Amino acid sequence: MAHNTFHVAINVKDLPAAIEQYRKILGIEPAKVKPDYAKFEITDPPVILSLNLGGEPGTVSHLGIRYPGTGEVATELVRTKAQGIAVREQPGTTCCYAKADKFWVQDTDGLGWEMYTLLADAEVHTIAQTPDETCCAPAMTQQNSSQLQTAAASCCVPAVSVQTESQLVQIRTKGACC
């Protein structure tokens, strides 16, 4: 029986040094290493730990849950929408050297949560046909009720819309990629 796996992505300034330190801390080799990304898959407790070059070093980029399959992601998407939580859907996206079906939500403090299933590994960081598909696309943030400002978003940063009493507010989290 497949289980859900907790995911945490950490921003680092020196990827090779971070990989070496996490090898020592965790006692395992990384499952994937790329020039700007590394992933450790811990079996007990089940955790996907991603190291992302960039962002504010030593901070959490985002959290998430990896589900066994697309059906579980779809079920969670329906449940989350029914709760009135804003989502950013990314079915079939390629980001962080992986093809995935995913959606993003944010907690009350703006921390992004990536809910996804891994479809396949990819040799490239990102593939996108349109700006909406790009995990590295700029997000729109509302500075005031009449002025929108484009904010440069890092890869995989969820941009979500939240309707408040009389204005639409779009928010994005800090971070790099998965």
User: Which range (61-65, 105-109, 171-175) has the least confidence?
Assistant: 171-175
172, part of any domain: no
52, part of any domain: yes
Across 142-156, average pLDDT: 31
Domain of residue 39: give its range: 5-131
State the pLDDT at residue 132: 52
State the pLDDT at residue 91: 94
Total structural domains within the chain: 1
State the pLDDT at residue 2: 72
Q: From the CB of residue 62, how many other CB atoms can be counted at a distance below 10 Å?
A: 28
13, part of any domain: yes
151, part of any domain: no
> The domain spanning residue 31 has which CATH number?
3.10.180.10
164, part of any domain: no
pTM above 0.95, yes or no: no
22, part of any domain: yes
155, part of any domain: no
| CA–CA dist 115, 100 (Å, integer) | 10
